[in-house]
Amino acid sequence: MQHVPLGRSGLKVSPLCLGTMNFGPHTTEADSFAIMDKALEIGVQFFDTADVYGWKTGEGVTEQILGKWFAQGGGRRERVVLATKVFGDMERKDASDPNQGRGLSARKIVRQCEASLKRLQTDWIDLYQMHHIDRACPFDEIWQAMETLVAQGKIVYAGSSNFAGWDIATAQGTAGHRHFLGLISEQSVYNLDNRVVELEVLPACRHYGLGVIPWSPLAGGLLGGALAKQAMGRRAGADFEKRVAEKRPKLEKYEALCAGLGEGPGEVALAWLLHNPAVTAPIIGPRTMDQLTGALKALEIKLSAETMTKLDEIWPGPGGEAPKAYSW
């Protein structure tokens, strides 16, 4: 597996990122351990998590699972490029404490980093990501906290998630004034069905040297062969079935195109992202071992210019970058 730099940094990561959001809620601890072991075996050493994953306020269930896996030793922690996130509500409600809830205050960043380190059973986090923008908090304050954590050896790099293009510009402008590296990556929703980031986020990332880590590359399963699975009698939730019904004409064309290529729809969706030079590593979130190994096929798929054009016809983007997408 050919590892690639994460943005303008010297950090090398696998071209697929192992997302761990299913660990705990949908995948048992034992199965999660097996998936992580297999990921390392096949060269996927970029792992992404978040303090809120596990969806039990204040518990950090998924981070705890990773921590137990690291604690087994065998070089697991040393081999993994570990990314986690801060922003979400991680404290039990106390009406007398106005500093609870979501946000990126320096107090929250420092406290929640310490809590993540404890749950993850590690001394350092390779990539500490802001899970969302907090426009009520100035970047001077945010970077002060991040600089302190870097100086203490608790984090190595900082990244963002769900930032707008102008948020990235603001963050990097402030970091530059402080003589700080700033962001090296942005984690955004990006897939064939949702290409909004092509307007301003991807151009901002290219300009400032940020690696792009797409989340939901299969659009929540929509691009993973939804019609074929439906025909096999697999049931899904009402909301997903509604999305499938709304997108059926596009899905019919898409799945037929993939069948003609002899490739699975999910693998084609990942391969399409990997053909974009702005993308570093799509996040795959396997619930099972088969889903992990299946995703590897995307690394071998070469999409022709003709196929890329057909995909654009089925799943049109916003028309390019702003402002040319909507202006002269």
Active-site amino acid positions = 53
Amino acid, res. 134: D
Strand order through the sheet with 81-86: 211-212, 183-187, 155-161, 125-130, 81-86, 46-48, 17-19, 283-284
Distance CA 285, CA 273 (A): 15
For 73, other C-beta atoms within 10 Å of its C-beta total 8
The 3-state DSSP class for residue 180 equals coil
CA–CA separation, 178 and 250 (whole Å):
48
* Coil, helix or strand at residue 158: strand
Among 9, 42, 155, which Cα is nearest to 18's? Answer: 42
CA gap 219, 240 in Å, rounded: 10
- Count of CA atoms in the C-beta half-sphere (13 A) of 253: 11
Burial of 109 (0-12, 13-18, 19+ CB in 10 A): buried
Tell me the C-alpha distance between 38 and 195, whole Å: 31
State how far Cα 279 lies from the chain centre.
Answer: 11
**Residues in a beta bridge with 39:** none
